[in-house]
Amino acid sequence: MVIIRSKMFILRPYKRGDEASLRKNINNKKIYRNTLRIPYPYTKKDAHFWVSCNLKFNKEKKKSEINFVIDIEDELVGSIGFSKIKGHKAEIGYWLAEKYWGQGIMAEAVKLATKIGFKKLKLKRIYATVFSSNKASMHVLENNGYKFEGIMKKHYKKNNRFMDVHLYAKVK
Ligand SMILES: CC(C)(COP(=O)(O)OP(=O)(O)OC[C@H]1O[C@@H](n2cnc3c(N)ncnc32)[C@H](O)[C@@H]1OP(=O)(O)O)[C@@H](O)C(=O)NCCC(=O)NCCS
């Protein structure tokens, strides 16, 4: 897996030792509400499990998922990656510690990850599913050339509620 340095952060693979900062920064109701797979409260066990999953993903010959740590000053402050990697397409997903919101960090991370997706992973379609209320995430995608493709009604079920999602995609 590659390591990418930008002015604001480093994108690098997960490593043992990330668990504490992962838990500290992800354990936030606002992050939980806007995402599908992130639990709240986020326990020590969740952090250990997620780092283990990523160490395993990184060893897979044919990768089903690839996640990068967004690292600022040797601390995991967020993550961005590709899941559901199937042939020429994959889904992009991301989160960032609240104290760093609004500084253009995710706009830059999506730009770099998208480049990796098309160039290194040879994807032809990268898509994102965003809850209808998540305007910040939609902005990040639009600013990176992702196009709105429509609303998928009741696409996910979260906490016994069916959620509409906005589908965005960028193709090469
Ligand atoms: C979504 C998220 C990753 C954005 O990260 P970020 O680093 O703050 O994003 P950026 O600063 O690069 O860009 C945010 C954009 O959204 C806009 N924005 C922020 N809050 C907004 C709101 N409530 N309504 C409309 N636009 C908003 C900003 O103005 C900016 O757009 P601009 O550059 O065109 O002005 C971050 O808020 C987050 O982690 N949220 C919780 C998890 C999540 O939603 N993950 C994505 C699931 S699809």
Each residue's pLDDT tens digit, 84-114: 999 999 999 999 999 999 999 999 999 999 9
User: For the whole model, what pTM was predicted?
Assistant: 0.97
Q: Whose CA is nearest to atom 19 of ligand 1?
A: 136
Q: Whose CA is nearest to atom 24 of ligand 1?
A: 135
Q: Which of 79, 140, 155 to mutate to test the pocket of ligand 1 (most atoms within 8 A of CB)?
A: 140
Give the number of the atom of ligand 1 that is nearest the alpha carbon of residue 129.
48
Q: How is the chain split into domains, by residue range?
A: 4-171
Rounded to the nearest whole angstrom, what is the distance from the C-alpha of residue 138 to the centroid of ligand 1?
7
Give the number of the atom of ligand 1 that is nearest the alpha carbon of residue 103.
11
Torsion of CA 84, 86, 90, 94, to 10 degrees: 30
Give the number of the atom of ligand 1 that is nearest the alpha carbon of residue 31.
41
- pLDDT tens readout for residues 32-86: 999 999 999 999 999 999 999 999 999 999 999 999 999 999 999 999 999 999 9
Q: Does domain 4-171 have CATH number 3.90.650.10?
A: no
Q: DSSP of 131-172, one letter per residue?
A: ETT-HHHHHHHHHTT-EEEEEEEEEEEETTEEEEEEEEEEE-
